[in-house]
Amino acid sequence: MAERNIHELITTTETEFAQLHKRMDVDRDLLVMKPFTLEDEDKRDKPEVDNITLNDAKVFATRVQSNLIRSNMQPEVDGKGLDDKYTTNVEQFFRDISLAFDDMIYARDMASLISYNIQQICQRGRLASRITLREDNGKLAPDSFLPMDTRYLVYKFDVLKNKPKWFS
């Protein structure tokens, strides 16, 4: 019974995400330059028409991504009552953990974390990853990193608690 309720919950949420996913599919088609075909109102190909696929979307996306990748990422921690020593430690932790996750990503023959994130943000408009850490001899160490394509991710967010309820 519980599996059925979970399946229904996920299916309902997928329906809620359908418009977003449809837009992501259209964006992907533009970026991979899926050949354009003129169709009539019944979605049938128009005969005797020369179709042209322009590369404007792909060129624009490539330029934006390359400009962002070339930029120098600088984590900055700021908050009421936080002293410089504390914020510096948090910023350094972020840099160190990012480098550790880069090593995990390189082992999968993928580009760096920042390049993957930029690609996802530019092409999907959203970003998601599963990150797990472990304590090893009293020190925090990265355990696993799983980047996720948000086209195939649905979730519920608890607005009152400002955190996710679940992901699928």
Domain range enclosing 27? 2-167
Single-letter amino acid code for the residue at 18: A
Give burial (CB, 10 Å; 0-12/13-18/19+) of 107.
exposed
Number of domains the chain is built from: 1
Check residue 131 and give its pLDDT.
85
Summary mean pLDDT of the chain: 87
DSSP assignment of 49-65 equals -------HHHHHHHHHH
Residue 18, SS3 per DSSP: helix
User: What is the SS3 assignment for 66-122?
Assistant: HHHHHCCCCCCCCCCCCCHHHHHHHHHHHHHHHHHHHHHHHHCCCCCHHHHHHHHHH
Average pLDDT for residues 29-58, to the nearest whole number?
Answer: 87
pLDDT class for 1, splitting at 50, 70, 90? Answer: very low
Check residue 26 and give its pLDDT.
92
pLDDT in tens, 8-29: 989 999 999 999 999 999 999 9
Q: Of 167, 130, 131, which is closest to residue 152 (Cα–Cα)?
A: 167
pLDDT in tens, 104-116: 888 888 888 888 8
Check residue 2 and give its pLDDT.
66
Check residue 110 and give its pLDDT.
83
pLDDT in tens, 89-98: 999 988 888 8
Contact 23, 30 (CB under 8 A): no
As a whole number of angstroms, the distance between CA 164 and CA 17 comes to 16
pLDDT class for 60, splitting at 50, 70, 90? Answer: very high
Among 23-27, 46-50, 123-127, the range with the most confident prediction by mean pLDDT is 23-27
